[in-house]
Amino acid sequence: MKRMILAVDGSEPALRATRFAAALRRAVGDLEIVPVNVQEVPEFRVLALYRAEIMDELREAAHAAFAEPLALLKAEGVPVEGRIEFGAPADRIIALAETLEADWIVMGTRGLGAIAGLMLGSVVTEVLHRAEIPVTAVP
């Protein structure tokens, strides 16, 4: 069975990527989809005092980001559970893909264009350049 990492962040591009993943699974059949949401943990000194509260808020944000994608996939009959990762998004997506021996990464792109994407940085761009497996950026 092939395994796909599906990065979701609650955005419309992530929903388009989810629809793409569902359509691909319908076409291929034998495809496990692993949705992941990565929450960046703030790095400031107050974090130690409020770590539990901050982590709870980050988990809530991740669950909110999963709501529509997981509902869409489950409506398609795809057995899925969302995975929450904490850290730098590109790092965590790539590390999860390596750990799970995924065959593919699918992500939505906000379509900023080449110049804006370079200036603002992009998780998709970083994953595209660093991942050792195929990455599909769904516009």
* CA-based radius of gyration for the chain: 15
Name the pTM for this structure: 0.88
Quote the pLDDT of residue 139.
87
Superfamily of domain 2-138: HUPs (3.40.50.620)
Residue 90: phi and psi, rounded to 5, are -60, -45
- When the pLDDT of each residue in the chain is averaged and rounded to a whole number, the result is 88
Of all residues in the chain, the percent with pLDDT exceeding 70 is: 87
Give the domain ranges of the chain: 2-138
Could you give the C-alpha distances from 28 to 1, 77, 90, 114, 117, in angstroms and in order?
10, 14, 27, 32, 32
pLDDT(81) > 60? yes
pLDDT(95) > 70? yes
* Residue 29, token pair as written in the block: 């059949």
**What are the tens digits of pLDDT across the range 102-132?**
999 999 987 555 544 444 458 999 999 999 9
Quote the pLDDT of residue 117.
46
More confident residue, 30 or 98: 98
User: Do 137 and 105 touch, CB atoms closer than 8 A?
Assistant: no
**What are the tens digits of pLDDT across the range 38-76?**
998 876 655 666 778 888 899 999 999 999 999 999 999
